[in-house]
Amino acid sequence: MLVVMQQGATEEQIDAVIERLTELGFDVHRSTGVVHTVLGGVGGKEEFDLDVFELMEGVKEAHRISSPYKLASRSFRPGGTVVKIRDVDIGAERVVVMAGPCSVESRDQIERSAEIVAAGGARVLRGGAFQPSNAPYAFRGLGEEGLELLREAASRRGLLVASEVTDQTQIALVAQYADILQVGARNMQNFTLLRELGRQRMPVLLKRGISATIEELLLSAEFIMSGGNYDVILCERGIRTFETYTRYTMDISAIPVVQKLSHLPIVADPSHGTGRRDKVVPMARAAVAAGADGLLVEVHPDPDRALSDGAQSLRPEQFQEMMRQLRLIAPAVERSI
């Protein structure tokens, strides 16, 4: 259920609608746009007359939303969402590059990575301290020590930090060091984790599951948003298909599809999407051309010795070349980097 208020509707009129929605059993979520305030009602009664709302003072229109996600749908915030983290806006005109190694491995490795990332003009340093993996004996990350090293390396260079939480018990710890909490593809439907992230007031980078549809991705975003945390950034990171040449199949079309269905920013991860460093730069170019709000890219000072995802990590000079090319492409789609 969505109620769109008229331009200039008063707070009393808005409160009256909120009260009526609450009486009908809805949880009310408010989006105050530049022109219109939109009230989203979730979970209320099925049977009631839309006229109840359409005839109320200050109401422009009322709709039943047929999609199974409501707060994540484009109609909740037609103008789009900009996730603001200090001086970085995700979902605005500037394409935000988040880059760094797959995992934090040592002080030297993350310092050198941060140097490369900052020199290229990226705004966010990524790095896992808690690593998910399909293989039980693979490197699992340095934990809190890794988070400390990551934060220091980023802060020294004015970068934000994105790092993954693989379990709800890690949220409090990772939140002390990171600016963005990443939910990995394997956890996209870990509903206990999503619910807990809904209680945070901190941006979440939600990666598409390996075999998840776009609707399932948006439903997972809805889990977080229904808890009151609206700062969700979606990430297309490739899906499993019958193709085996690349590690996954990078679904570039998910970018415009998500932008039609949802107001949430969407970034693209061509590193996991292809699994091969020689294919990362072309897919990064394609993602920016398709309208991605940002990129998540793995780069490592010495990828051949990386403890995880070395094959898909860019070498330092490849990263700088990618940034140079993206600066040429972005203006063609009315963006900048």
Q: Kindly state the helix (H) or strand (E) to which residue 114 belongs, with its residue range.
A: helix 107-120
Nearer to ligand PEP, 100 or 198 (CB): 100
**CB 200 → ligand PEP: shortest distance, Å?**
19
Q: Are 148 and 177 in contact (CB under 8 A)?
A: yes
Query: Which residue among 151, 309, 319, 326 contacts Mn ion (CB under 5 A)?
Result: 309
Question: Of 315, 279, 300, 316, nearest to 139 (Cα)?
Answer: 300
**CB 263 → Mn ion: shortest distance, Å?**
28
Return d(Cα 170, Cα 167) in angstroms, integer. Answer: 6
Q: Are 273 and 235 in contact (CB under 8 A)?
A: no
132 binds ligand PEP (CB under 6 A): yes
Nearer to ligand PEP, 58 or 128 (CB): 128
Where do the DSSP E strands lie in the chain?
Answer: 2-5, 27-32, 37-42, 59-63, 83-85, 88-90, 96-100, 124-126, 160-164, 180-183, 204-207, 232-236, 266-268, 294-298
102 binds Mn ion (CB under 5 A): yes
Query: Mask: binding to Mn ion, 253-292, rule CB under 5 A, as x and -?
Result: ----------------------------------------
Q: Are 290 and 260 in contact (CB under 8 A)?
A: no
Per CB under 6 A, contacts with ligand PEP among 159-178 are none
**CB 166 → ligand PEP: shortest distance, Å?**
9
Query: Which residue among 272, 277, 279, 300 contacts ligand PEP (CB under 6 A)?
Result: 272
Four-residue CA torsion sign, 282, 284, 287, 288: negative
Which of ligand PEP, Mn ion, none does residue 174 bind (CB under 5 to 8 Å by kind)?
none
Q: Are 303 and 261 in contact (CB under 8 A)?
A: no
**CB 164 → ligand PEP: shortest distance, Å?**
6
Nearer to Mn ion, 102 or 268 (CB): 102
Residue nearest to ligand PEP as judged by C-beta position: 184
- Cβ neighbors of 304 (< 8 A, separation 6 or more) are 310
By CB under 6 A, name the binding residues for ligand PEP: 102, 128, 132, 184-186, 207, 237, 272
By CB under 5 A, name the binding residues for Mn ion: 102, 309
